[in-house]
Chain A
Amino acid sequence: MAITNSSTTPEFPRDRLSNVSSAVAGPTDIAPKRTTFRKILRSMPLRVKLSSLWLVLIVFGAIYAKLDVAWFGGSLPLQDPNIQTNGFIRETGQFGTGQPIEGMSTSHWLGTDAIARDTFARIVHGGWVSLVVVVVSACCGIMIGGFLGSLVGFVRGRVETFVMATVDVILAFPALVLLLAMVSIFEVRNLFVISAVIGVLSIPAYTRVARANSLAISSREFVTAARAIGTKPSRILFREIIPNVLPTLLAYTMVAAAFVVVVEGSLSFLGLSVQLPTPTWGNMINQARRDIKINVAQVMWPSLALTLTVLSLNQVGDFFQQRREIRGSNL
């Protein structure tokens, strides 16, 4: 019943995906041991610790920035990402004294962009879009894709053929091409639409991973035993299969998140993501690219933020996948 090779997977990180599948091939027939947070932390190599730190910073920054706007009316110490410092100030009736494309300074840590907005604030705020897209796609993927995959891997038969054929069809498109086509259907692109589209497109990959795991687990002794004693299939699915598929899916989430961040960045870069002036790293790169001859730093900052985030997600993702792999192979 060898797990089908992952050859028809999408542009989702394939090499890693195959790791996942193989990691799973030796599944977990023991109930997952409770691993304490401290234990995990201790087993982390330095680079993973640093990566986690960066991710925590980005997430914290994004939430902080969001709270600042939503609850505190911008009174927390972080500049407004959309204020043009050379713009009209209503209170004084004058134009501001800021300059476009400034270098680094104490008032603007990372300088200003082409319309004199604070780049540091925009980068911090830019994390929000990436965060939301990642969370939504992971939720869609795990809840819908994970469930479907677990189900069909367990039930098999026609349902499986149908679901996996559908998954194959969707995965038969190069992801970016499909995404471009889908996104261009929507006239108004807000965060909801973008994350929904990316979320929907995440489902097939999760389905595939979940099915592979579910297949493997379904043939294990404890499942066979449960069947033999007449346990209801739905109970087996929810009590035995899904709990055992979930950890692998969670490990996959990090890797998928890296992909999703890049995809959102690419869309933003092409001007097809959320509406302006909402800052995203991709649209910051696109806008600053115009002035790369004058000020390369304005392209570099958002590029760095994007790359570091993807790198960190990959590090952390690999770490968790390896943990599962080791635990699996220890059995």
Chain B
Amino acid sequence: MRRRGLYRAVAFLAAAGLVAGACGGSDDSAPADTTEESSEEAEAPAEEPADEPADEPAEEPAVEAGDEAEGDVDTEIVEEETAIEYGGSVSVGLEAEATGLRPWEDTCSSPCYNMMVAVYDKLVEQTSSGAYSPNVAESISANEDFTVWTMTLRPGITFHNGVELTAQTIADMFPIQQAGAAGSGAVSAANLVSVEATGDLEVTYTLSQGGSAFPASLARAPLGMVFDPAAAAADSEGYSMAPIGTGPFVIDSRDLDNETTFVRNDNYWATDPDGNALPYLDSISFRPIPDEGTRLDALLSGTINAMQTLRQGTIRDARAARDDDGADITLWEFQGNNLGGGMFNVLVPPFDDVRVRRALVKMGSQEQTIEALGGTGISLPATQWFSPDSPWWSEKVAEAWPQFDFEGGVEILTEYINDPERSDGKAVGESIDVELSCPPDPTLIAAMQVSEQLYTASGLVNVTLTNFDQQTHIGIALGGENGFVGDHKMHCWRWGSDDDPAVSLNPALAPPTAEIAEAAGIPGVVSPLNFPNWFSPTAFQAAVAANQTDDFETRFGLYESIMLEFADQVPVYYSGHTATAIGTDTNVLGLNSWHLPSGELGIGFPAAEGRWAEVFIAS
């Protein structure tokens, strides 16, 4: 944990308010996630921004039932009108089992965040506008240069085991986070050097470099979720099976791969804006059902009354069941800044040559890929890490991103192939070898085959398709034996999140290896999260600069410049924005209307991660 990326956070304050309406964000999923985790997606490169996002109706709220308008139909975040009711339980189908429930240790993605937010509270949460607002914290503020952040906690919060939450608790969490697998990366990314209790309820965070978006880090699991450090230190393994937090639900039983049940925390500190005690539900349980079709069937047949999905094809099927077969389900859809696509490992020939990357992107069709993913009418082609309704979205970038132009791609590729100096060492005129790899979800497999056909049609590319399950897929990109540079070639991945770009984008821009860092004159700055292994001093400097200011216009310009460089150098490719959804029985309400202590509406259910405290079952 000594290397730090210089990522810096950004002015979340500024961002607040700017983030447009309904684009919620995923909060906790972030950083890593940005890159990571949850995963990968498939697909193909390419794209055509042509019809751009512009016309997307994203902005209209599309009520969940009903409207099957084309495109992005995010469920609106609004106050729920139906009178709340206490009691009942919800059973949620997840796409995978959580590897563990320790925020500082376990690498999590969307399914496990669903469980974690039931049992843990976060210091800071995102509001429906995307702003960061105190949650367990009562207030948080920075000094001039954003190197020292002072946070005050709410009084009277206790853990499920009766231990009281104080500033010292937060300070004691720090060493555990530093040592944790998930925590160490987050600590380093945030440049966090110390956490001290400077009062009963006052905590002081000291950063080695100013981070204007530091609170964004406190809205994510590794640093933001509050756990009992004494119990964690005593029995880390036990904690994974029986987590202790301050959250709305208390662990009741954990039956791995089958069902994890939480019951109501009768002493929960938070109330709804009317002062009613939370949570409303008596209990909530989570069941991992990895197969997408089976999970939807389970919802339709009443085995479960809620489910999540990150796959467009499932959303399509769920919509069909709702609209055509009259199934009584509600789809809580969210698109946000998530996008599918992948990356080129630019340290591996021929992908080290920008001509090859450009050619492959031009030869891929985002629209056909989206159709293969089952996302036609659900997802839009992408040109950048932000969706058209995000304040960070740039028209310039949309125009700059290479559009589908098959012959154009062929031309560029021909130039490479006929270059006597070509980087892959093959003879002039020989086809290039492309290994395209995605996890084995059927829709991703379909999408891969779309790209394969297009590339093969050029007669210049030998395509190999491989599938590895998600864990292996990630492992391949991480590498290991080779200094964590990765063995991937053209690799499906999922990009973006609704976190501040400082959290979602910066870690992907730092030098991927010590040698590159050395060469760039910033020794020791190495990011394991730079998966494409693409390093540009200008993009990196822009990211660092964006972290030192909270002025939105300045930051927008910097991130726009990074995205323009992406459009030119194409280290990553896109297969379109990806919709996510939580499906529930129609009497399960409240997912879009939970509140922060300030009374503001929360961000909803970004990346199919629900907040369950204010969910209720209407009769």
Contact = CB atoms under 8 A, between A and B. Distances in A.
A contacts B directly (C-beta below 8 A): yes
Interface of A: 82-84, 86-88, 90, 93, 95, 100, 114-115, 187-188, 271, 275-277, 286-287, 289-294
Given A115-B449, A188-B466, A293 B442 contact: no
A277 B457 contact: no
Nearest to A100: B371
Interface string B362-395: 0001001001101000000000000000000000
Contacts of B406: 88, 90, 93
Contact of B293 (A88, A115, A275, A292): A292
Given A87-B450, A271-B467, A277-B465, A290 B313 contact: yes
Contacts of A114: 372, 374, 442-443, 446
B464 A275 contact: yes
Contacts of B453: 82-84, 87, 277
30 contacts: A84-B368, A84-B449, A84-B453, A86-B371, A87-B454, A88-B454, A88-B457, A90-B406, A90-B457, A93-B406, A93-B407, A95-B368, A100-B371, A114-B374, A114-B442, A115-B371, A115-B372, A115-B449, A115-B450, A276-B465, A277-B465, A286-B442, A287-B442, A287-B446, A289-B442, A290-B292, A290-B293, A291-B317, A293-B293, A294-B320
A188 B313 CA distance: 28
A82 B465 contact: no
Contact of A86 (B317, B368, B440): B368
A208 B290 CA distance: 40
B182 to A, nearest CB: 27
A82 B449 contact: yes
Interface string B446-473: 1011101110011000001111000000
Contacts of B465: 275-277
B371 A276 contact: no
B321 interface: yes
Contacts of B407: 93
A296 B317 CA distance: 13
Contacts of A90: 406, 457-458
A103 B301 CA distance: 26
B352 to A, nearest CB: 22
Given A84-B450, A115-B446, A289-B442, 18 more contacts: A82-B453, A86-B368, A87-B453, A87-B454, A88-B457, A90-B457, A100-B372, A115-B450, A187-B466, A271-B440, A271-B445, A275-B464, A275-B466, A276-B445, A276-B452, A277-B453, A292-B293, A293-B296
Contacts of B446: 114-115, 287
Contacts of A187: 466
Contacts of B458: 90
A222 B454 CA distance: 66
Shortest Cβ-Cβ A-B pairs, 4 listed: A271-B440, A290-B442, A276-B465, A277-B449
Contacts of A83: 453
Nearest to A101: B374
A87 B297 CA distance: 31
A95 B457 CA distance: 13
Contacts of A277: 449, 452-453, 465
Contacts of A276: 445, 448-449, 452, 465, 467
A36 B297 CA distance: 55
Nearest to B321: A293
B479 to A, nearest CB: 14
B589 to A, nearest CB: 26
Contact of B320 (A87, A115, A292, A293): A293
A160 B559 CA distance: 73
Contacts of A275: 464-466
A287 B320 CA distance: 19
Contacts of A82: 449, 453
B466 A287 contact: no
Contacts of B313: 290-291
Given A93-B406, A271-B440, A275-B464, A294 B317 contact: yes
Interface residues of B, number: 32
A277 B463 CA distance: 10
Nearest to B318: A293
Interface of B: 292-293, 296-297, 313, 317, 320-321, 365, 368, 371-372, 374, 406-407, 440, 442-443, 445-446, 448-450, 452-454, 457-458, 464-467
Contacts of B443: 114, 290
Nearest to B472: A184
Nearest to B447: A115
B588 to A, nearest CB: 22
Contacts of A291: 313, 317
B249 to A, nearest CB: 33
Contacts of A100: 371-372
A273 to B, nearest CB: 11
A114 B374 CA distance: 8
Contacts of A188: 464, 466
A244 B466 CA distance: 45
B40 to A, nearest CB: 15
B293 A289 contact: yes
A254 to B, nearest CB: 32
Contacts of A294: 317, 320
B368 A88 contact: yes
A287 B445 contact: yes
A286 B291 CA distance: 11
Contacts of B448: 276
A87 B450 CA distance: 8
B308 to A, nearest CB: 17
B371 to A, nearest CB: 7
A88 B445 contact: no
Nearest to B469: A271
A20 B604 CA distance: 65
Nearest to A289: B293
A291 B372 CA distance: 12
B403 to A, nearest CB: 13
A281 B605 CA distance: 39
A300 to B, nearest CB: 15
Contacts of B440: 271
A95 B366 CA distance: 13
Contacts of B457: 87-88, 90
Contacts of B320: 293-294
A38 B293 CA distance: 50
B41 to A, nearest CB: 15
Nearest to A288: B442
A232 B88 CA distance: 84
A77 B440 CA distance: 32
Given A115-B450, A293-B321, A294-B317, A87 B368 contact: yes
Contacts of A86: 368, 371
Contacts of A289: 293, 442
Contacts of B449: 82, 84, 115, 276-277
A88 B452 CA distance: 12
A233 B321 CA distance: 72
B469 to A, nearest CB: 8
A290 B372 CA distance: 12
A291 B311 CA distance: 13
Contacts of A292: 293
Task: Give the residue among B292, B443, B458 with the most A Cβ atoms within 10 A.
Answer: B443
Nearest to B439: A271
Nearest to A83: B453
A88 B446 CA distance: 15
Contacts of A88: 365, 368, 406, 454, 457
A82 B406 CA distance: 19
B199 to A, nearest CB: 55
A276 to B, nearest CB: 5
Nearest to B367: A95
Interface centre among A82, A93, A114, A292 (most CB of B within 10 A): A114
A84 B445 CA distance: 14
